[in-house]
Chains A and B, each alone.
Chain A
Amino acid sequence: MNIENRVLVGVGDIKIDKAPAVLSTFLGSCIAVCLYSPSRKVGGIVHFLLPKAREMQGEKIPRKEKYADTGIPELLRRLKNVFNIEKDDFVAKMFGGANVLKMVNRRVGEENTAAARAILRELKIAVVGASTGGERGYKIDFDLATGKVFCQVFNEEVKEY
C-alpha cells in the first residue's frame, strides 16, 4: 500500500476513486461504509454521522453524505454513474460506530451500525468484512488496488479486512 496515494475522507463525506488510490478516514461514532468492485478495482467510502436524514432535517436533505439512509445509496449511485458498474459487482465492508465519549443517553454508534447493516441488506450488497463498536476510535486505510481495508482501533495493532 502506497501512502503517497492517500486520499483523506472528512466527516460527512463521500470519496470514490480507483487503484492505486488509498482512501483513509478516522472514525468515532460515525461509520465508514466501503464499497469495492474487485473486478474493476474501484471503490468508495461514505463517512456518515447519523442513521436517518429525516430525523434531523424534516423534508430537506442538504447533504446526503451525512446520513446512512441517504449516504449509502448516494455512494452506490456515484460509483455506478462514474465507473458504469452494476450494483451486483460491489462488496461492502464497514467500520466505526464506537462510543468514544461513553454516552449513556444515546448510543449513536450502535444506531449507525444497525442502520448501515439494514440498508446494505436492503440493497442486497454483501458485507464481507466489518469491525464496529467498542469505546475507541478507528483509523482505516482502504486500498483500492487490493480491496483490503487496514483497520486500527486506537492503541491496538492494525488488522486486515
Chain B
Amino acid sequence: MDMSADGSRPNKAVELIIQLSVDRVSQLLSKFIKVGAQISLEKAYVTDLSEATARVNAEDVQSEVIGSIVDVTGDAPFKFLFYADAPACLTLTDLVLQRKVGTSTDFDIYVQSAMQEIGNILASGVCSVFAADFNIRIKPTPPKVAHDFLGTILQEFVMETAAESDQVLIVESRFHIVRYNLRCNMFILPSPGTEGVINKFFLDQI
C-alpha cells in the first residue's frame, strides 16, 4: 500500500479508517458475487485536483467504464465511486446474477443495475465502518450510474469537492476477483473538513 503516491499523506486516523473500509468491502463483495474478491488499497494521497484528474486520465486514456457514484451525507460526508471497465462490467453482472460468465454481452439494464447494486453495497460497507467502529453518523444516498469515458465520470465525481477545495484526498483501490482478471477501482473522496471530523471521532475512541 502506498499512502503517498503523488502527494502528501492523509493523517493516521484516515489511514486506519480507509484500511478497515477496504477490508470490509472485500468481504461484502465476495459474499455478494459468491467468488473470492480481494480489494487492495493502492494509493491514498492528498493532491492537487487538476493534477489528479490529468494523471488518472493519462494512465487510462479513452477507457470506457460504468461508474456508480454514491454521495454519503452526515457527520463526515464523502463521495464514493466504484467503476469497472467494459469487459469487467459484463463479467460482474453475470457473477451478480449467478449465471454463466459470458452470458452478458451488451450494456443493458441488467449491467446498469448490477453496477448500481455493487456501488450501493460497497458504499454501505464503508459507511458501516464509519458508523460501527467510529460512531460517525453518515448515510449513503442512492447511487447514480453512468456509462461513459473514465475521464468524464471522474470529472463528475470530483466536481462538487473541487468547487470547494483545490486539494483533494483520493483513495484508490484495485479489485482482484479470483479466477477472473477483472479490472475495477474504488475511489473515496472526503468532502473538505471530513478528515478533521474523522480525526476528532478517532481521538474520542482512544
Nearest residue in A to B168 (C-beta to C-beta)? Answer: A11
Contact yes or no, B155 A65, CB < 8 A: no
Contact yes or no, A28 B153, CB < 8 A: yes
Q: Is A142 an interface residue (CB 8 A)?
A: no
Contact yes or no, B163 A139, CB < 8 A: no
Q: Is B134 an interface residue (CB 8 A)?
A: no
Q: Is B49 an interface residue (CB 8 A)?
A: yes
Contact yes or no, A29 B159, CB < 8 A: yes
A26: B residues at CB distance < 8 A: 57, 149-152, 154-155
Q: Is B69 an interface residue (CB 8 A)?
A: yes
Nearest residue in A to B69 (C-beta to C-beta)? Answer: A101
Q: Is A25 an interface residue (CB 8 A)?
A: yes
State A10–B151 Cα separation when bound (angstroms).
9
Range for the number of chain A residues in contact with chain B: 20 to 34
- Contact A100 B50, CB 8 Å, known A8-B57, A154-B148: no
A154: B residues at CB distance < 8 A: 64, 147-149, 152
Pick the contact of A139: B54, B62, B69, B156 (CB < 8 A).
B62
Range for the number of chain B residues in contact with chain A: 20 to 34
Q: Is B52 an interface residue (CB 8 A)?
A: yes
A contacts with B: majority SS: loop
A136: B residues at CB distance < 8 A: 148, 152
Contact yes or no, A28 B152, CB < 8 A: yes
A28 CB to nearest B CB, Å: 4
- Known A12-B162, A26-B150, A101-B146; 7 more pairs at CB < 8 Å: A9-B54, A11-B49, A11-B162, A12-B49, A101-B69, A136-B152, A137-B151
A–B pairs, 23, beta carbons within 8 Å: A10-B52, A10-B53, A13-B54, A26-B149, A26-B150, A26-B151, A26-B154, A26-B155, A27-B151, A28-B159, A29-B155, A29-B159, A30-B155, A49-B162, A50-B163, A98-B152, A100-B152, A101-B144, A137-B148, A139-B149, A154-B64, A154-B147, A154-B149
A interface residues with partner B (beta carbon < 8 Å): 8-13, 24-30, 49-50, 56, 62-63, 65-66, 98, 100-102, 108, 136-139, 154
